[in-house]
């Protein structure tokens, strides 16, 4: 039915506690995207028919499908954003090298982004990320573990 798989993706995340990363549900994402494609194609057909033949009784159905498309889009964005926040929290907890059991639950793109990016929130205190030689402002307490691991260097200016 409409949006059921997208809502199930969100429920899957809520069933897991904080600090846990469920396996990336590639099949669920694919099914939601296929549903979105089908809804879009049905809407395009009905919009063309409504315009060409003046069938205004199709408008509520078109609007309903459009709302389903938007809901699916929001659910996928929420699913991916929640995973991003969980991975970020785990990275702060474990450092730049996440344990194998956590990496196992990540998709290839998440692993690649983890390697490519060392983004940190901007706040107080100057810290230089040695790997990228970039500068970010963080309070020392947020990055002490990374400083001990040699990933970050505290710079006093």
Residues 156 and 80 in one domain: no
Q: Are residues 109 and 122 in the same domain?
A: no
Count the domains in the chain.
2
Whether residue 83 is found in the same domain as residue 122: no
Same domain, 79 and 151: no
The two three-digit tokens of residue 111, written as one number: 């692993």
Q: What is the pLDDT along the chain (157 residues), one digit of tens a residue?
A: 689 999 999 999 899 877 789 999 999 999 999 999 999 999 999 999 999 998 889 999 999 999 999 999 999 999 999 998 888 888 888 876 788 888 888 888 888 777 665 543 333 344 444 444 556 566 666 677 777 776 666 666 5
- Residue 93: which CATH number? 1.20.58.1030
Q: Are residues 61 and 108 in the same domain?
A: yes
Count of H-run helices and E-run strands, the chain: 6, 3
Question: Measured between alpha carbons, how far is 122 from 2 in angstroms, rounded to an integer?
Answer: 40
> In what side-by-side order are the strands of the sheet with 126-129?
134-137, 126-129, 152-154
44 shares a domain with 79: yes
Q: Which domain holds residue 148?
A: 118-157
Contact 132, 120 (CB under 8 A): no
């Amino acid at each position: 039915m409409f949006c059921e798989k997208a809502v199930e993706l969100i429920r899957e995340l809520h069933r897991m506690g904080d600090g846990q990363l469920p396996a990336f549900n590639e099949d669920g994402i694919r099914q939601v995207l296929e549903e979105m494609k089908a809804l879009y194609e049905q809407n395009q057909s009905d919009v063309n028919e409504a315009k060409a033949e003046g069938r205004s009784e199709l408008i509520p159905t078109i609007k309903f499908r459009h709302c389903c498309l938007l809901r699916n889009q929001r659910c996928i964005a929420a699913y991916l954003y929640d995973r991003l926040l969980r991975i970020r929290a785990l990275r702060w907890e474990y450092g730049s090298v996440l344990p194998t059991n956590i990496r196992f639950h990540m998709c290839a793109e998440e692993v690649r982004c983890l390697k490519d990016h060392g983004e940190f929130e901007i706040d107080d205190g100057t810290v230089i990320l040695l790997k990228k030689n970039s500068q970010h402002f963080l309070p020392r307490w947020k990055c002490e573990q990374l400083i001990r691991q040699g990933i970050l260097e505290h710079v006093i200016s």
